[in-house]
Structure formats: structure tokens, C-alpha cells
Amino acid sequence: MRNTTPGLVCAHHHLYSALARGMPAPPRTPSGFTDILELVWWRLDRALDLEMIRWSALLGALEALESGTTAIIDHHSSPNAIEGSLDVIAAACAEVGVRVVCCYEVTDRNGADGAKAGLAENERFLRAGGHGLVGAHACFTLSEETLDAVCSLAADLGVGVHVHVAEDLCDAPAGERLAGRARESWVLAHGVHLDRDLPGTVVHNPRSNLNNAVGYGRPARFARVALGTDGIGADLLDEFRLAFVLARNADLGATPELAWTWLEAGATLVPDVLDDVVTWSYSPVDPWHLAYTTGVRAERVVVGGEILLDELGATRVDSAEIRARAAEQAARLFRRMEEI
């Protein structure tokens, strides 16, 4: 019985949030999605420097590898350490051996200079041959002018755009703003409140959507759907299980095969993973089995012909050292968050 799959793809990740676990509580309890951004994530990303980004990416890449995820489509933000940040992330993933598609999230939330610096980082990284997309935060933090700049940079460079789309009701007008702008190569994260089909792949992030209480977007209504974690690890088998039960909760007729097609669709975004081989602790690898089997582990991961994970763990890097150094950087990050 088959116990292998190609490498899995996390189609929407934020490696910078790998150090976030256990972070200081926000000054007050967030009352909604925009509050969560302002009180939690926009405090965290402003405190990041390149050293923290490096260990965060190493830890996130290691956890991906340990979950059988061999490619990460990352969406990065570090407003006080923009230049060079994508190189740091790409190098960290290369060290572990995990494939990564980088981007820097352009936004107007940090003023015109912040938006320019974000555009410049995408351009610098991509023109130097980096594997990536042009990143944008979300329509509700982008002026028409900045959104146009994102689209024209992506068109010039011949790549897609990776953007949050209608994750919460506050960004529901995104569909209208992106109509005519979006292309097939775009990665549209969330789409919970997206009111139309757009060219591109909608990335469903079940655990994150539940955590932020943004609602269920009925992803089955979209033509192309892949799965992501939105920064909560990179265990895509677990996201598959959640995607299935959420679909089932909305429609008792939903089958695991549906969520499995979303899991497999990651390979359309990073086709190189079809050359990777993950051996799982359970067989058969079958949607109906895996939907109801928890705790399935990747026992062996081969990327591009090289064994990167075996029974002793990651082969190229010292996983204990990464965890220890990442914990030190997390402590430093939390201190800095209290200061700013």
C-alpha cells in the first residue's frame, strides 16, 4: 500500500511568525480582525530585525520539513528591516533544504516611504534572480497608486502577486479592486469574503481563519484552491483535515477528496515538489484514511534527490541548535516588542 506523496506545499505562510508563540499579550483584548492586526501582528513585525528573521525562517523551514512540506510560499513583513530581508529568508530555507517562493508585503500602513521600500525589496530580490512573487498586504492598506505600482512591477518582472484578499469583511471590496488587475499567476490568500471569481489561486487557511474568527469562505465555490497555514506552522496534512471537517460542517455531503484536491493543488504553484518524495508513518495515503487519522508523521523526506529528513531528523542542519537559537531570538523579539 502506498505510503508516499510528493512534497507538500504551504501556499500561504509567514515565516516571520515562527517566533511569535508565547509573545507578550496585547495591551487589550482585540475586538476584531483589524484590532488583531494592529495589536498583535503589526507590533510583532515592527520589532523584527534581520537576525530574528533569519532564525525565524530557519525554525519555520525546519518545521515545514518535519511535516513533509518541501515548498513554502512566504509572505514577509518587517517594516524596520526591509532591505535584504528576502535574501535572509531564501538563504535560511536553502540551508534547511526547503524550497521557498519569497515576497515582501507592500503596504501604505507605514507611509509612502515604507511602501516604496517594500516595492524596492521585491524588485531588488527578483532582479537578482530570487525565486518569488511581488507581495502586497491587502487592498484595505493599499492606495490605488500603490496597488498600481505593485501590479506594474509584477508585470514588468513576469511574476504574479501574492496578496491577502477579503480575509475579513473589512477587505470585502478587494474583489472589485482586483477585478481586471489579478492574473492567473496570482496567489490570493484567504478569499473568505471574496464576492467574485478572480484569476489566480485562492489559498484557504482553515486554522488561521478559525483563530481570527473571520468566518467560513466556502472555498469550494472557487475554481482553483490550494491550502496554506497563514504562519501557524506548515503541517499541511493537518490543514487538510481541518479543511475537510470545515467543509463537512457547512455541507454534510462534502468529501475528503475535495480537500485533498486543494492539498494537491499546491504542486501547480511549485511544480518542483513533484520530484520530492515524502514517506509517511501511515498507509495507505488515501484521503478517506488521512481525514480520520491524526498524528501522521513524515518519516523520510527527499528533495531533489537528497535525503533531507530521516529517522534521526533533519540531515543538513542541527535541529536542536535551531530550536535553541530561535528561542533566544524570540526572547529578544519579545523584549523589543515591549519597548516599541
Q: Which residues form the interface with Zn ion (CB under 5 A)?
A: 230
Cβ 138 to Zn ion shortest distance, Å: 9
Comparison of 121 and 230: residue with beta carbon closer to Zn ion:
230
Cβ 296 to Zn ion shortest distance, Å: 25
Comparison of 230 and 235: residue with beta carbon closer to Zn ion:
230
CA 180, distance to chain mean position in Å, is 25
Cβ 156 to Zn ion shortest distance, Å: 25
Comparison of 230 and 239: residue with beta carbon closer to Zn ion:
230
Cβ 205 to Zn ion shortest distance, Å: 7
User: CB neighbours of 308 closer than 8 A, spacing ≥ 6?
Assistant: 65, 70, 96, 97, 98, 301, 302, 314, 315, 316
Q: What is the number of alpha carbons within 13 Å of residue 158 lying toward its C-beta?
A: 4
Residue nearest Zn ion, CB atom distance: 230
Q: List the Cα angle 84/166/213 in 5-degree steps.
A: 100
CB atoms < 10 A from the CB of 15, how many?
29
Cβ 55 to Zn ion shortest distance, Å: 20
Comparison of 45 and 230: residue with beta carbon closer to Zn ion:
230
Burial of 255 (0-12, 13-18, 19+ CB in 10 A): middle
Comparison of 77 and 279: residue with beta carbon closer to Zn ion:
77
Comparison of 18 and 285: residue with beta carbon closer to Zn ion:
18
User: CB neighbours of 43 closer than 8 A, spacing ≥ 6?
Assistant: 26, 337, 340
Burial of 249 (0-12, 13-18, 19+ CB in 10 A): exposed
Cβ 277 to Zn ion shortest distance, Å: 29
Comparison of 171 and 230: residue with beta carbon closer to Zn ion:
230
Cβ 105 to Zn ion shortest distance, Å: 9
Comparison of 5 and 212: residue with beta carbon closer to Zn ion:
212
Cβ 45 to Zn ion shortest distance, Å: 11
